[in-house]
Structure 1
Amino acid sequence: MTNNKFNFNDAVKELQAGKNLNGKDGVLTSLIKQLTEAALQAEIEQNLDNDQQPNRKNGASSKTIKSSVGSFELNTPRDRNGSFEPQLVKKNQTTLSDEIDQKILSMFSMGMSYRDIHKHIEDMYGMNVATGTVSAITDKLIPELKAWLQRPLDSHYPIVWLDAIHYKVKEDGRYVSKAVYTLLALNMQGKKEILGLHLSENEGANYWLSVQTDLNNRGVKDILIACVDGLTGFPEAIATIFPETETQLCVIHQIRNSMKYIASKNQKEFMADLKPVYRASTKEAAELALDELETKWGDAYPLVINSWRRKWHNLSHYFKYPEHIRKVIYTTNAVEAVHRQFRKLTKTKGAFPNENSLLKLLYAGILNASEKWTMPIHNWSLCLSQLAIYFEGRLDSVLDI
């Protein structure tokens, strides 16, 4: 970790390795230093834009700042004319108050609207910070998001989930619907980790191929099981880059999609007949139940039955695993929980002015969600040992045995 670029993935590793959270070289101290300097850079740029006289940046001055988590060297930008008066950390100020610490962090991690940030700063500190300045401050964090999206990944992931959430984003003067695809993985330690966010208007084999290629270029060599909701072209694309990966379609999505085509008067009865299919103890029992479902409902709802038949190969993988593995892979609920966190942050926003404004807010949601992912999932040691048997030899290079 350097003074100029703070990498959250590195920070987590440093904390796990025993590095202090607070103190001169603490992880949190480095974060506050980075965000404070980003805010000061935004302030001077705003000052230069409003300056009536020709002016430009002229290096920086350094001073020791005391904060609630430790001291650090703060680089304050200067302008050539000497007219710049920083407001967040004034020229003679050597102490950063706890309130400002928390405000800087909240702008990044709580996903507050620019209006709320403006009001909060004005109420708490008596500073009238323009919305444009708030926007510029948060934009200083976009390089960190980009670095996170390009960070190296582990070579092996036992399980990966993929799901989409949709937002309205302004493009060429009009608002269009765009899908944000979240890749959530279970790493070798059994902990959840978001591998990336991918924003796209369309899906298909070519798009999914680019997603898989990105994972491969960032170091991923093998994925045992990929859980998806029936995305067009995804199984074919993942087989191109990760030919041995098993693609499990989300059974819950399949059920929901099926019920859309069942008349309301028949839904309760159809659901009761469908339950023996997806809750069967074995694949053979499930196929018998599917035959019975088709015998009873095939004439009335051939579209639904044909959908289950057509997708059965990728719907039925989970039957071969014990119950604790089935629960993990038969649905994309794990990544949908991340999307619920996203919705909490974006519920007051009808649309976004650009892609960056959306992605940096979702990144805040990722940071919030990942704070809870400190422990492996239940029964992970047993799951991993069984997966190593089902996928013989594929985890040998990363298992410490």
Structure 2
Amino acid sequence: MVARVRADGGRLTGAGSFLSELCKAVLERGLKAELGEHLGYDRHAPAGRGSGNSRNGSTPKTVQTEIGPVSLDVPRDRAGTFTPMLVPKGERRLGGLSDVIISLYAGGMTVRDICHHLRRVYGTEISPDTVSVVTDAVLDEVKAWQTRPLDAVYPIVYIDALVVKVRDGNQVRNKAAHLVVGVDCDGVKHVLGIWLQNNEGAKFWLGVLTELRNRGVRDVLIACCDGLEGLPAAVETVWPHTIVQTCVVHLIRASMRYVSYADRKKLAAALKPVYTAVNADAAETALLELSGSELGRKHPTAIAVWERAWDRFIPFLEFPPSIRRIIYTTNTIESLNFQIRKIIKNRGHFPTDDAVIKLIWLAICDIEDKRARDREADRGKPANKRTAKPRLVEGATTHGWKDALGAFEIAFPGRITSTMVL
């Protein structure tokens, strides 16, 4: 094989390549050794005479690997009792090919793109249905993750959504895929689950929150979201003492939609006294002054955004700066959604709801794995030479959590301590 590579410059991978032929030789030798162990005697050994079972030729079989297709001659016994472990019966993929397929899928490639990539790079012929079967193998892991037990209390829960296209019968519909991120009592962030909205707001959110409660979540102090329809009513039903807080950054962005580019910086500066006020009365006074000013009269629709969301905004003003800095925005979950959107943007639509949840879960795992490998590569380097990014969401710590935890204990006396003791 080495002589052939030197003579004609043969490929290392692909059908009939150096590595595939080497893999063939190793596997066939291993299969013959397995058969010998199963029969209890070596080939042509006298011990096989009258044993009742013997070698009976071989069966051709082609398996797909990450180095290309490998054609094997699988030995068999006359009694038909030989079950190889090295290349199991019915197995058509070996080695890390399934891991390669799942990695490509998590990176945003469609099943047909994956088939084309494997054919072009490895010479491996795999159908789109086979790729779907391989990726569907993770659904059990997704379901186990989606139903895993959770902590009893989460001081903060962030909720945000991204829109995906999903086939529903003969048409493609836009659906909101909601991600829920919780901050535990140690300040560590966790993705609690992924849900696709299929019905009206209040009914949907009641189902989601009830599921979280059934998984062990007994209390949430603050639910930070972007004015999701039906969520406040569902929260009051499941966790009556939870405060629903509208994201301040979302309010600013929503108001800027109605403002000309020339006036955006002016209005943003004029809104700052509203969301940095010491209390609700001072914030209301600042908003009234802004609405009566020339800038406010010029953009009344932008002011109306704050007036409509006022009841869900003012809880923010009751907290000290240590808590305000944490619940000021849902950027924690928006950063995750931004990374996921980059992965799903190449897809026209998804065939099922399970396909959406499967890809988002794989994307989260893939993103965190990449960052973990980069951090491991930077280990031991001086701080100014490290380029690896920190954890995106899962397992990330909240900056300034110690001060915030003390403020939470004062603002919500007993609700954290009692649960931690339990």
TM-score (norm 2): 0.68
Q: Could you say which residue in structure 2 is the equivalent of 1:256? A: 253
CA deviations over 1:84-124 (Å, ceiling 9, x no partner): 4x3323xxxxxx4xx64752551564343223332343355
* Residues 184 and 193 in structure 1, CA contact (< 8 A), matched pair in contact too: yes
1:213 Cα deviation after fit = 1.0
CA gap 1:178/1:375 in 2 versus in 1, 3 angstroms: closer
Report the residue type matching 1:333 in the other structure. N
Question: How far is the alpha carbon of 1:189 from its aligned partner?
Answer: 2.1
Partner of 1:395: 416
Aligned length: 321
SS of residue matched to 2:150: coil
Q: What do the CA deviations read for 1:328-361 (whole angstroms, capped 9, x no partner)? A: 1021111111101211211211222222222211
1:88 pairs with one of 69, 88, 93: 93
Q: What do residues 154-208 of structure 1 show as CA deviations (whole Å, max 9, x unaligned)?
A: 1111110111100111111111111111111111221111111111144422221
Residue in 1 aligned with 2:337?
Answer: 339
Q: Deviations over 1:17-61 (max 9, x none)?
A: xxxxxxxxxxxxxxxxxxxxxxxxxx9xxxxxxxxxxxxxxx995
- The whole-number CA distance in structure 2 between the counterparts of 1:224 and 1:234 is 15
Kept after mapping to 1: 8 A contact 2:322/2:407: no
Provide closer, same or farther for how the CA distance between residues 394 and 347 of structure 1 changes in structure 2, counting only shifts above 3 A.
same
Gaps of 5+ in 1: 1-42, 44-58, 66-73, 79-83, 90-95
Q: Does the 8 A contact of 2:245 with 2:313 survive in 1?
A: yes
Judge conservation of contact 2:236–2:242 (CA < 8 Å) in 1. yes
CA offset at residue 312 of structure 1?
Answer: 1.9
Between the aligned residues of both structures, percent identity stands at 38
Native 8 Å contact 2:102 2:134 kept in 1: no
Partner of 2:118: 121
Question: 1:88, 1:232 → 2: CA distance?
Answer: 47
1:212-223 superposed matches below 5 A: 212-223=209-220
Query: Aligned to 1:129, what secondary structure does the other structure show?
Result: coil
Residue number in structure 1 paired with 2:404: 383
Distance 1:156 1:60 in 2: 55
Q: SS at 1:177's partner residue?
A: strand
Give the match for residue 172 of structure 2.
Answer: 175
Please tell me whether the aligned partners of residues 166 and 172 of structure 2 are also in contact (alpha carbons under 8 angstroms).
Answer: yes
Rounded to whole Å, the distance in 1 between the matches of 2:83 and 2:189 is: 42
Contact residue 180 and residue 197 of structure 1 kept, 8 A: yes
Q: 2: distance between equivalents of 1:272 and 1:376?
A: 31
- TM-score, normalised on structure 1? 0.72
1:20 equivalent in structure 2: none
**Paired residues of 1:252 and 1:331 also in contact (CA < 8 A):** yes
- Deviation of the 1:292 alpha carbon: 0.5
Q: More deviation in 193-202 or 130-139?
A: 193-202
Post-superposition Cα deviations, 1:218-237, rounded to whole Å, max 9, x if no partner, equal 11100011001011221121
Aligned ranges for residues 227-246 of structure 1 at < 5 Å? 227-246=224-243
Match of 1:274 among 271, 294, 314: 271
Pairs within 5 Å for 1:132-171? 132-171=129-168
Return the index of the structure with the highest Cα Rg.
Answer: 2
Aligned residue number for residue 199 of structure 1: 196
- 2:344 and 2:256 mapped to 1: Cα distance? 29
Q: Which amino acid aligns with 2:317?
A: F
Report the alpha carbon displacement of residue 135 of structure 1 after superposing the two structures with TM: 1.1
SS at match of 1:398: helix
Go from structure 1 to structure 2 and tell me whether the alpha carbon gap of 1:287 and 1:397 turns closer, same or farther (over 3 Å shift): same
- Which residue among 353, 356, 378 is the counterpart of 1:355? 353
d(CA) in 2 for partners of 1:379 and 1:259?
30
Task: Extract unaligned runs of 5+ from structure 2.
Answer: 1-63, 65-80, 370-390
Give the letter aligned to residue 359 of structure 2.
Answer: L
Q: 1:374 to 1:299 in 2, by over 3 A?
A: closer
Change (3 A) 1:397 1:152: same
- Are 1:285 and 2:285 counterparts? no
SS of the counterpart of 1:276? Answer: helix
Matched residue SS, 1:261: coil
Equivalence for 1:313: 311
Q: 1:115 to 1:281 in 2, by over 3 A?
A: same
Match of 2:322 in 1: 324
- Answer whether contact 2:190 2:395 (CA < 8 A) is retained: no
